Amino acid sequence: MAEGAYEMSGAEEQAFRDEFHATAEELDAIHQKEARPHPGTGVEELFYLTDKHPSLGRFFEEGYDVLGFSEEGQKKFALLSQKYLDSILTPSERDILERYYLRYQIEKRRRSP
């Protein structure tokens, strides 16, 4: 497959959407059990993702770079990522981050040999 030729199938897209939402629910359940007085830094959550959902873990670690965000875009991505990890995204923020995740998956596949 030539670089730039990757097209995501409907089944792949749905699988990534399902993973994104199911993981958000898992993080929310963790936060419900371990209530914190304020949102955390996301370190524990990133370790959890790296272990249980490696593609999401990589997204939060390298997504801004893979997606080629400007400095302002990186700040927005970091804020949305933190809110995802803390389970405090609004529905519109969740939709934005989900679109970023799908774009990230497409870009990763376009770049791989």
**What confidence tens digit (pLDDT) does each residue in 94-103 have?**
999 999 999 9
How does residue 1 score in pLDDT terms, banded at 50, 70 and 90?
very low
**What confidence tens digit (pLDDT) does each residue in 5-52 have?**
678 899 999 999 999 999 999 998 888 876 665 555 677 888 888 899
**7 SS3 class:** coil
Q: What does the mean pLDDT of the chain come to?
A: 88
**111 SS3 class:** helix
Q: Are 104 and 67 in contact (CB under 8 A)?
A: yes
In this prediction, residue 15 carries a pLDDT of: 95
Which pair of tokens denotes residue 73? 């875009």
